Structure 1
Amino acid sequence: MVKVNLWSSLTRFTDGERAVEIEAGTVAEILDGLTAAYPGLGPILDSGVSVVIDGEIATGRHTPVTPESEVFLMQRLKGG
């Protein structure tokens, strides 16, 4: 299980939980698992989010995660 930390406005979809655990080995599995467990998150995740793993923004859906990874879901970060 991977602990995923969420930004505060998403807690309305997770019964107030700021962090949830998802069975996942990649970023794609995190996002798919979140959508399956919390369908209300689907539209937000589909519109684009940034996944930060151990302080680094994941660059693709196949980026690996482990149960020891520190994972944060953040609003999409864009360069400019």
Structure 2
Amino acid sequence: MTVPGIASPPPVGALMVDTRHDDRAGEFRGVSGPYWSLRPLGGGLEWEADPGTVRSATPIERLRAENARCNARSRGDVL
């Protein structure tokens, strides 16, 4: 599903950044009505983001998110 005036959703698993929530990075999980569902790489609850405030992650943001995932896994957190 696409929202008028908004680009089509990225593939599931793409790392995106929600600029409305302090540049919070999350993995794209799917479309929920007019919103995109994102989930932190290090585990945690999904949140809904306005597609107009979401962008692809930069290389440094990808590195930070992967590092957070590795740290969570080493602590034994549920991912």
TM-score of the pair, normalised by structure 2? 0.33
Higher strand proportion: 2
The one of the two structures with greater contact order (alpha-carbon pairs below 8 A, sep at least 6) is 1
TM-score of the pair, normalised by structure 1? 0.32
